[in-house]
Amino acid sequence: MTSWREFDPALTEVLTKLPDGARLVISGDGGIVQFARSGEELTVEVGNESSDDQPRLSQRGWTLVDSWSGLWRRSFPQPANSEAASTVVAETTHALRGVFGWIGLDGYSYSSWREVSKRFLGLFPKTEEKPLTWPTLGLAQAREDGPIDH
């Protein structure tokens, strides 16, 4: 089991290392959080299948992007150091704990990959997903057929 005390600095470290084109998705019964790095921007999405949290999230800069699934989005500059990443983690965990009510991380797992674009036969664009692992995150790595325990 990973506690918030262990998770926050581990996530901070991962976000400073997340490569361009990479995604990190953490999900469980209480909802989902996704981090997507694109160039100099880090986009964070949080969701819990409810759009009832609007005042508490919109006041902190989150935008509702899908009311049906209760998906909220916020963009940050790509954190280049742990101080900047700590700000992203603090805002994200506020949404997860303070707004959505995530108590702990039991039953949560992660998946992570980097999208790499190539050209097939030099002509046709092809995007591949290269898996990424983050063992220091302290969560089980998810697979299509269920989580992988570390």
Instruction: Tally Cβ neighbours within 10 Å of residue 94.
Output: 16
pLDDT tens digits for 56-95?
A: 888 999 998 987 878 899 999 988 788 999 999 999 999 9
**Does 149 fall in a domain?**
no
Rg (CA), the chain: 16
Is the pTM of the predicted complex or chain greater than 0.75? yes
Residue pair 35/24 in contact (Cβ under 8 Å)? The answer is yes
Pairing of strands 140-143, 124-131: unpaired
CATH number of the domain encompassing residue 114: 3.30.1460
Count of structural domains within the chain: 1
Average of per-residue pLDDT across 117-141:
83
> What number is the average pLDDT over the span 7-12?
95
- Residue 18 inside a domain? The answer is yes
- Residue 147 falls inside a structural domain: no
Contact 34, 61 (CB under 8 A): no
Ordered alpha helix ranges (H), 1-150: 4-17, 54-58, 82-93
Question: Confidence class of residue 142 from pLDDT cuts 50, 70 and 90?
Answer: confident
| Residue 148 in domain | no
Residue 59, domain member (yes or no): yes
Residue 91 lies in a domain: yes
What is the residue range of 44's domain?
A: 4-140
Residue 145 lies in a domain: no
Please state, in angstroms and rounded to a whole number, the distance separating the CA atoms of residues 37 and 19. Answer: 7
8 A C-beta contact, residue 131 and residue 115 = no
Q: Residue 59: helix, strand or coil by DSSP?
A: coil
Q: Is residue 52 part of a domain?
A: yes
